[in-house]
Amino acid sequence: MAVFKVEAELRDDVGKGASRRLRHAGLIPVVLYGGDRDPRNLTLEHNKVLHMVEDEAFFSSIIEFSADGGKKQKVVLKDVQRHPSKPVIMHMDFLRVNDKQEITMQVPLHFLGGEESPAGKSSKVMIDYQMNEVEIICLPGALPEYIEVDVAEFSAGDNLHLSDIKLPEGVALVAFTHGDDSHDAVVVSTSAIGQVEEAVSEDEAPAADEVEATEQSKDSE
- Per residue in 99-126, pLDDT (tens digit) is 999 999 999 999 999 999 999 999 899 9
Residue 30 lies in a domain: yes
User: Quick one: 126 and 171 in the same domain?
Assistant: yes
Does residue 81 belong to any structural domain of this protein?
yes
Distance CA 6, CA 8 (A): 6
Q: What is the pLDDT of residue 81?
A: 95
Contact 151, 127 (CB under 8 A): yes
Q: Give residue 140's domain range.
A: 103-192
Assigned domain for 33 exists: yes
Residue 69 in domain: yes
From 67, 96, 125, the end of a domain falls on 96
Verify that 86 and 141 share a domain, yes or no.
no
pTM: 0.79
Spatial separation of the C-alpha atoms in residues 97 and 33, rounded to whole Å: 10
Percent of the chain with pLDDT over 90: 70
Please give the pLDDT value at position 216.
Answer: 53
List all residues 6 or more positions away from 193 whose beta carbon is below 8 Å from its beta carbon.
123, 124, 125, 126
pLDDT tens, 11-67?
877 888 888 899 999 999 999 999 888 999 999 999 999 999 999 999 999 999 998
Burial label, 50 (beta-carbon count in 10 A; 0-12, 13-18, 19+) = middle
Given a contact cutoff of 8 angstroms between Cβ atoms, the answer to whether 107 and 115 are in contact is no
Is 210 within the bounds of a domain? no
Same domain, 23 and 62: yes
* Residue 21 Ramachandran class (φ > 0 left, ψ -120 to 50 alpha, else beta): alpha
The total number of structural domains that make up the chain: 2
The CATH code of the domain that includes 125 is 2.170.120.20
Mark whether 53 and 87 lie in a shared domain. yes
